[in-house]
Copies of this chain bind each other. A is one copy, B any other.
């Protein structure tokens, strides 16, 4: 249901008011709607609408691949409502040393919450995608379709589906002997089998790092890792690729849940 629109249309001016408390450099940065910090805010609101992030869980990190320093990574703080974060609440980290260049704790108090911000608990997982796969962005959701799939296949180490058109939205990846990197060589085909590894959940999100890295290494063709009873990590070459991959994968997970309930095999026997 949609409540009648009551938006006050003061965002613009109020945002400007708020921005004026920032340094002139930051004011200038955040005026660009395509700035990574602004895109994180925009996409978190979209993910909230899609029920992919809820409460304070889930989120997205962006590496500034189109900027002057592609080693800069933007990360949301932990424990905040993702649909309400503001661009100045991000942590700015530089790879490969993960040096923190900027924290929301340095931002004028009238713009921030009164507690001490910490980077999202997903940080080492996001960083793993950047370092192991040269990702430009990494999305983490608590999508119920992802959780249900890991419950349906409680004893399996991977999820697989084939012969669905939407699979073609996903990249075909291959190890390049010369560069020593996993590279995109095209798109998956309709009849290809999409395989996503499932790792076991751990009490603390950061403890997922080892098994996530292992899964990324063992599945060179994967653009995502499912976490049992928890959700999914999806990455891509850029923020928009990551968004498109995440949408395609969530579509396939949603369809897989319906197929499973209807007794239809996920991988077509030919």
Contacts and interface: CB of A to CB of B under 8 A. Distances in A.
Given A9-B9, A9-B12, A248-B55, A191 B165 contact: no
Interface string A87-130: 00000000000000000000000000000000000000000000
Interface stretch (A44-52, A67-75, A131-139, A172-180): A44-52
Contact of A84 (B4, B48, B190, B268): B4
A81 B240 contact: yes
B251 A144 contact: yes
A232 to B, nearest CB: 11
A166 interface: yes
Contacts of A5: 5, 7, 11
A202 interface: yes
B147 A255 contact: yes
Contacts of A203: 189-191
A142 interface: yes
A9 B225 CA distance: 37
Given A55-B166, A57-B168, A147-B255, 14 more contacts: A3-B44, A3-B83, A4-B84, A6-B11, A6-B41, A7-B7, A8-B15, A54-B247, A57-B248, A81-B243, A144-B258, A148-B255, A190-B201, A229-B268
Interface string A57-87: 1000000000000000000000001011000
Contact of A33 (B8, B9, B154, B257): B8
Contacts of A1: 46, 48-51, 54, 83, 247
A95 B258 CA distance: 41
Contacts of A154: 264
Contact of A166 (B50, B57, B248): B57
Contacts of A51: 1, 251
Interface string A217-252: 000000000010111000000001001110110010
15 contacts: A1-B247, A3-B44, A6-B11, A8-B11, A54-B247, A54-B251, A55-B166, A56-B169, A57-B168, A151-B259, A152-B264, A165-B230, A165-B231, A189-B203, A190-B203
Contacts of A7: 5, 7, 11
A158 interface: no
Contacts of A148: 255, 258-259, 262
A136 to B, nearest CB: 15
A2 B2 CA distance: 8
Interface string A5-44: 1111111100100000000000000000100000001101
